[in-house]
Amino acid sequence: MAVHAPDPITHEGVVGGLRRRPELHLVGEAEAVVVVVVAEVVDEQVKTVLRRFSRTVGARPVLIVSDLKEAHLLEAVECGVVAMLWRREATPDGIVRAVVAAAGGGGSLPPDLQGRLLKQVGRMQRGAQAQGLAAAGLADREREVLCLVADGLDTSEIAGKLAYSERTVKNVLHGLMTRLHLRNRAHAVAYALKEGYI
């Protein structure tokens, strides 16, 4: 694991509290499986750091934060955060539990953040259903198009089979890939198969 903090004093304080813990092995940020990120708030700079660790380095971020606005909770999760602790409640034992959970593929949230996150997910789900998205997160049209892509059909064949224009098929695929951060059609099909959507 590694520690990323906004200043040297905070960094040394966290590292000093964890250095002698036998459950943890401190390494550089580039080698870390889990990175503890300490921040006052989740602002653009912190989101950039979280994304860098989760997407570029491949580490699982544990966020220790002083204040978290409602809108920033889900943004932190979208940036790859798998565990969070309130800074005022963060003890060496609590940090160790969060890091061990993150390293094992799990997560950890304080109870009040769990409640807030569940409310946000519920609101998002209701909004998705109102827009015609299925509970799984794919609209029926997206699922139909992906099934045909998985069957090896090209854009014109899909358009003919579903009585859509080629432009509509391309727009459906583009919207899906953009929303889910998928690189290409093969990635979209692999994602849909892995998640059980098709």
The tens digit of pLDDT for each residue in 99-127 reads 999 999 999 988 888 888 887 777 766 66
Q: Which amino acid is at 174?
A: H
Q: Which of 85-94, 136-145, 162-171, 176-185 has the lowest mean pLDDT?
A: 136-145
Find residue 34's DSSP bridge partners. Answer: 60
SS3 26: coil
* pLDDT-derived band at 135, boundaries 50, 70, 90: very low
Q: What topology does CATH give the domain 133-195?
A: Arc Repressor Mutant, subunit A (1.10.10)
Q: Is 180:168 a contact under the CB 8 Å cutoff?
A: no
List, in sequence order, the alpha helices (H) in 82-196: 92-103, 111-130, 140-150, 155-162, 166-179, 185-195
Q: pLDDT at position 73, please? A: 86
Q: What percent of the chain has pLDDT over 90?
A: 60
**C-alpha triplet 61, 111, 67: angle, nearest 5°:** 60
pLDDT, average across residues 40-44: 95
Q: Domain residues of the chain, as ranges?
A: 2-124, 133-195
What single letter denotes the amino acid at residue 17?
A: G
93 DSSP assignment: H
Is 137 or 88 the better-scoring residue by pLDDT? Answer: 88
pLDDT classification of 195: cutoffs 50, 70, 90: confident
Count the neighbouring beta carbons within 10 Å of the beta carbon of residue 79: 22
Fold topology of 2-124: Rossmann fold (3.40.50)
